[in-house]
Structure formats: C-alpha cells, structure tokens
Amino acid sequence: MSNIHHHLTDTTLLAYAAGNLAEHMSLVVATHLAMCPSCRNRMEEMEALGGVELCASETMIMANHSKDALFAMLDQPSADQKPISVSKRPTAGSFPYPLQGFLPENFEEIQWRNMAPGIKQFPLENIQAGRGTIRLLKIAPGITIPEHGHGGTELTLILKGSFSDEIGRFKPGDIADLDEDTAHQPIADTSEDCICLIATEAPLKFNSLLPKVMQYFVGM
C-alpha cells in the first residue's frame, strides 16, 4: 500500500518522458519517482510509447558513407563504458538519488537562510533553472506561504512533515503539481517543520504587497 496520495499529472510525466522538461523541474520529478512506484510505472508506459512512436516515425535517409564510418569505429574501445552492474549505494542520509547530489547527508546539516517569518530557504546550486527557481523550503508549524501565482508549472515535493492547501493534505513523497492558473496557500499543519522541494518554471508572483517587498529583498 503506497502512502502517496498526490501524484504527478499526465502532462508533467509526458513532458519528462519525452525529454521536454527543464533541468531543475526534472530533478524534482526524478526525486518523486524514486519515492513513488505508481508514477514510475506510468512513466515507463510513456517511455514505451516513446519507443513505439520512434518506430512509427518517418525516416530520413542517412548519408552514403555513414554506415561504413560508424562500422570503422565499432572496434575502438569506448572511453566511458558504464559498469555492467551498478553497485548499490551505501545507505545515505535522508534523500533519494538524484536529490542526494545537491544536499548534505541529512536535514540537520542544511544551511538554511531566512526568507520570511517562519520560512527558511535553501536554494539549490549547480543546477540550471532558466527563469525559474528551485529551492528547499522549511515552513514552521502553522505558517502559510503567502498566496502566489506562478507562470508555468510549479512542483512541490514534500520531504518532511506535511502541509495542507486548497487541494488537500500533503505528506512526505506527495507532490503538488500545479499549473500557472492555480493560486494556492499551503500551510504547515502539524507540530513539526514542513520541508519541501519547490521548483517553478517562472518567478513566483506574490499577490499582496508585503510579500512583494520581501520578494525583492530575499531574491525570490
């Protein structure tokens, strides 16, 4: 029985399977997939569809000597041959791969920065986000993220604790996959901090003045 009740939409999964998602968005998707077998299964179906579509594709003739040129290369050893068996990673801290590569071993070691009363952030580094954003947020109990819209898709993956919003209750592994039209106000609803990974395709748009001022100062 899976504990996950909030999943990726078909639209986002399709974009991921087709290779159309921006890098920072694909990090959040891949991390959720590590936590959600049913989304993994759906994603694999979509990749199988990609393969079928490839076979059904039109063809574009290869240049005359391309096959010979390729065959001449076949006997050369490949520089970066992956090992046949991937050894299991040692039990790491709290995060699945690939998120693991961007964070310290566990939650306690994260160097949080203040963002607003009750809200701390940890922007991820060494990742391309275009005009969008990707960060961890730590929300204290009872605190709400101010109402905001967002151009494009916003993905919020719960890592610890929980929050509630207009859609429902989100716990670790759950993902809120929202499009640009949905304004929402998540509130951390238990006595522990809620830690989540949030990626947006575009900058966040806060709907009232005070958060807009904060936005300027904290560089959201």
Q: Is 125 in the site for another protein (CB under 8 A)?
A: no
If the CB atoms of residues 42 and 169 are measured against another protein, the closer one turns out to be 42
Quick check: helix, strand or coil at residue 197?
A: strand
Count of CA atoms in the C-beta half-sphere (13 A) of 88: 3
> What is the nearest approach in angstroms of another protein to the Cβ of residue 170?
16
Look at the block and give the residue holding tokens 């290869």.
Answer: 62
Residues 149-208 that bind another protein (CB under 8 A): 152, 173, 179-181
What are the E-state strand segments in 67-167?
A: 113-116, 119-123, 133-139, 148-150, 154-160, 163-164
- Exactly one of 7, 8, 33, 165 binds another protein (CB under 8 A); that residue is 33
Q: Is 142 in the site for another protein (CB under 8 A)?
A: no
H or E, element range at 34: helix 23-35
Q: Is 124 in the site for another protein (CB under 8 A)?
A: no
- Is the torsion defined by CA of 75, 77, 82, 83 positive or negative? positive
Q: Is 117 in the site for another protein (CB under 8 A)?
A: no
Q: Is 106 in the site for another protein (CB under 8 A)?
A: no
Cα–Cα–Cα angle for 43, 15, 48, rounded to 5 degrees: 40
Q: Is 209 in the site for another protein (CB under 8 A)?
A: no
Residues 64-103 that bind another protein (CB under 8 A): 66-67, 69-71, 73-74, 78, 81-82, 84, 86-92, 94-98, 100
